[in-house]
Structure 1
Amino acid sequence: MTKKLENLLLFMWTVSLTATLGSLYFSEVRGYEPCDLCWYQRILMYPLVLILGIAYVQKNPKIAVTTFIFSVIGGCISAYHYSIQKLTFMQESAPACGRVACTGEYINYAGFITIPFLALIAFIIIAITSVLVWRDIKEEK
């Protein structure tokens, strides 16, 4: 495995770890209770820390297919969650999300940065990096 692939795996692991620690900070330190959609995003992000950590240690870039699938599904959930927070016509049809409303915004930095937005950015970064890893694997062959 090339040093570039190794660095890309480390980068993806760092992004997933940062997203995981960020979500834990918001819920465990700040006391923000996650809504149902937040839980689905966590279900897809948290395993990436373990999967990418193992892939980095084992020097296994073939994990890019798995990380791409996890991040695309998680990104779709994040995009939907963000849209029901920010688009009025989406809020009207938003599902009831248990004890915490999915349309609620615990944070709103600069008028557009919410927790689902942060998750979406992390999922996009991991998806793009997964494609780069996959492309580099194909070029090595």
Structure 2
Amino acid sequence: MNLTQTVTQVLAILVLASDIALVASLLLFLFVARGKLSKLVKFPVFSSIARNARILAFVVALVSMLGSLFYSDIAGFEPCKLCWYQRIVMYPMVLLLGLAIAKTDKKNIIDYCLGLSGIGAIIATYHYWLQRGGNEFIPCSTVGYSVSCAKTFDMSYGYITIPFMALTAFLLIFSAMMLSRSYQRN
């Protein structure tokens, strides 16, 4: 197994575990907390996540940034136009969250990260949809020097591609920030 395969396998395992956690959290939110975040943050695991949301989101954003740089600069995967848009949204969160941790800014960072991760999740969803054979709503022109947005470099577990990894990261950050906001209000 070469370095690219090893990194992809490690990231795919992290994404799979994160997806399981996101689905379990959503089910708890809908059926146990009955759609109220204030009830969900009373569970010890969720209150712990809420208290440490900035650190969790920083780690997710940092791993996402390093992963994208690995794929483009070391593995040699040329980023497409949508990949660049996702990077434009993800990379600032590393800086913003790092500064928020250093300055212990708990309030303002939540709104910024919710906005950025929400936009990123929309772009990543559209990108993943294109990879799975969906039709383009918005053209992803290759302008002669970049790869097609529909190109799949690797797929793990039958569904995890690079845009899906990004989608999971954006959803993790969004969820952590929502829990943090609800926790601060209670």
Shared fold (TM-score greater than 0.5)?
Answer: yes
Inter-partner Cα distance in structure 1 for 2:136 and 2:81: 15
Find out whether 1:65 has 2:106 as its counterpart: no
Q: From 73, 90, 97, give the equivalent of 2:135.
A: 90
State the Cα deviation string for residues 85-132 of structure 1 (Å, max 9, x = none): 003x42698532332100001111122111100000000000000101
- Alignment correspondent of 2:150: 103
Change (3 A) 1:32 1:57: same
Runs of at least 5 residues in structure 1 that lack an aligned partner in the other structure: none
SS in 2 for 1:61: coil
Inter-partner Cα distance in structure 2 for 1:138 and 1:93: 39
- Alignment correspondent of 1:112: 159
Find out whether 1:50 has 2:105 as its counterpart: no
The alpha carbon displacement at 1:133 in A equals 1.0
Inter-partner Cα distance in structure 1 for 2:131 and 2:64: 19
Find out whether 1:32 has 2:91 as its counterpart: no
What letter corresponds to residue 85 of structure 2 in structure 1? Y
Change (3 A) 1:92 1:50: closer
Quote the sequence identity (%): 38
Instruction: Give the TM-score taking structure 1 as reference length.
Output: 0.89
Inter-partner Cα distance in structure 2 for 1:115 and 1:8: 24
Find out whether 1:79 has 2:125 as its counterpart: yes
- Alignment correspondent of 2:39: none
Inter-partner Cα distance in structure 2 for 1:21 and 1:93: 28
Runs of at least 5 residues in structure 2 that lack an aligned partner in the other structure: 1-47
Inter-partner Cα distance in structure 2 for 1:4 and 1:22: 23
Find out whether 1:138 has 2:151 as its counterpart: no
Change (3 A) 1:58 1:6: farther
* Contact 2:50–2:176 under 8 Å retained in 1: no
Change (3 A) 1:80 1:92: closer
* Contact 1:35–1:100 under 8 Å retained in 2: yes
Instruction: Give the TM-score taking structure 2 as reference length.
Output: 0.68
* Contact 1:37–1:97 under 8 Å retained in 2: no
What letter corresponds to residue 17 of structure 1 in structure 2? L
The alpha carbon displacement at 1:66 in A equals 0.6
The alpha carbon displacement at 1:6 in A equals 5.1
The alpha carbon displacement at 1:44 in A equals 0.3
